[in-house]
């Protein structure tokens, strides 16, 4: 098995499960045209996030790292009437592409893209006591993941689901060389923090597919009344 066969298998799954969505195709095309890095979630991963949102009964979703809005569209599709997805993005150009993708997808009323340093935005949200989120997707600069997890916990309630993207980094997570790389250090600290925090029941899975060898963490928050 190699990257080509993982990719072919993802295509097969997309076809047999009829996962394709013209709005997502259009969003991806706009991301590519705008020269955004190819770091969006895969189509089958996007559907998984959508199912997680439904499983969590999410009415409020927080995304840290919007990029072109692809995963935001996937998750927002799971929201009931009156639901809200807040997505944080530090890069104004990415945010503009995302807003256009979200507008064309008919989700402008549902998704708020907040531009600025995510750490600062999160601090502001905690300070202003915004209502807790039901699902939180952490998918920004991996070096800052420990900070994002701390903020996610502060913005959660009993039962909040927290998903962390890209925890395997093509295997670099375990490489000796990776230990000097900021994204690997951030990811390792993020996983260790999760394990230590008694409010979290957590796991992590590695994946292969169109996006190579990667994976995600999954945690649920316990905050008994
Ligand atoms: C990278 C970041 C992502 O969020 C992703 O999904 C894939 C890759 C990266 O920084 O390399
Ligand atoms: Mg990602």
Q: What is the mean pLDDT of residues 111-138?
A: 98
Neighbour tally for 82: CB within 10 Å: 8
Q: What is the mean pLDDT of residues 152-158?
A: 98
Contact predicate 69/113, CB 8 Å: yes
The closest of 15, 46, 49 to 28, measured between CA atoms, is: 46
User: Ligand nearest 137 Cα, by number?
Assistant: 2
Q: What is the pLDDT of residue 183?
A: 95
Spatial separation of the C-alpha atoms in residues 203 and 25, rounded to whole Å? 31
For ligand 1, whether the C-beta of 39 sits within 6 Å is: yes
Q: What is the pLDDT of residue 87?
A: 99
Q: What is the mean pLDDT of residues 207-220?
A: 96
> What are 105-108's contacts with CB under 8 Å, separation 24+?
105/23, 105/26, 105/27, 105/69, 105/73, 105/76, 106/23, 107/72, 107/73, 107/76, 107/77
For ligand 1, whether the C-beta of 63 sits within 6 Å is: no
- 35-78 residue pLDDT tens: 999 999 999 999 999 999 999 999 999 999 999 999 999 999 99
Q: How confident is the model at residue 105 (pLDDT cuts 50, 70, 90)?
A: very high
Q: Look at ligand 1, atom 6, and give the residue with the nearest C-alpha.
A: 39
Beta-carbon neighbours within 5 Å of ion ligand 2: 139, 165-166
Q: At residue 1, does pLDDT exceed 80?
A: no
Domain architecture of the chain: domains with CATH: 3-221 (3.40.50.150)
Q: What is the pLDDT of residue 225?
A: 85
Q: At residue 146, does pLDDT exceed 90?
A: yes
Task: Give the number of the atom of ligand 1 that is nearest the alpha carbon of residue 67.
Answer: 4
Q: What is the pLDDT of residue 169?
A: 84
The proportion of the chain whose per-residue pLDDT surpasses 90, expressed as a percent, equals 95
């Amino acid at each position: 098995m190699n990257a080509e066969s993982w990719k072919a298998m993802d295509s097969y799954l997309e076809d047999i499960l009829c996962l394709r969505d013209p709005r997502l195709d259009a969003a991806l095309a706009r991301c590519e045209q705008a020269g955004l890095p190819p770091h969006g979630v895969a189509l089958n991963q996007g559907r998984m996030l959508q199912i997680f949102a439904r499983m969590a009964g999410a009415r409020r979703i927080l995304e840290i790292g919007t990029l072109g809005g692809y995963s935001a569209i996937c998750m927002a599709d799971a929201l009931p009437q009156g639901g809200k997805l807040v997505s944080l993005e530090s890069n104004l150009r990415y945010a503009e592409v995302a807003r256009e993708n979200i507008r064309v997808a008919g989700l402008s009323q549902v998704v708020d893209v907040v531009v600025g340093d995510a750490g600062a935005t999160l601090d502001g949200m905690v300070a202003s006591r915004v209502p807790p989120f039901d699902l939180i997707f952490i998918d920004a600069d991996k070096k800052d993941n420990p900070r994002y997890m701390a903020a996610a916990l502060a913005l959660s309630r009993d039962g909040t689901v927290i998903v962390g993207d890209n925890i395997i980094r093509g295997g670099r997570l375990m490489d000796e060389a990776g230990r000097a790389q900021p994204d690997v250090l951030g990811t390792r600290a993020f996983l260790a923090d999760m394990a230590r925090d008694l409010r979290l029941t957590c796991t992590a899975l590695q994946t292969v597919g169109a996006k190579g060898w990667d994976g995600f963490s999954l945690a649920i928050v316990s905050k008994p009344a």
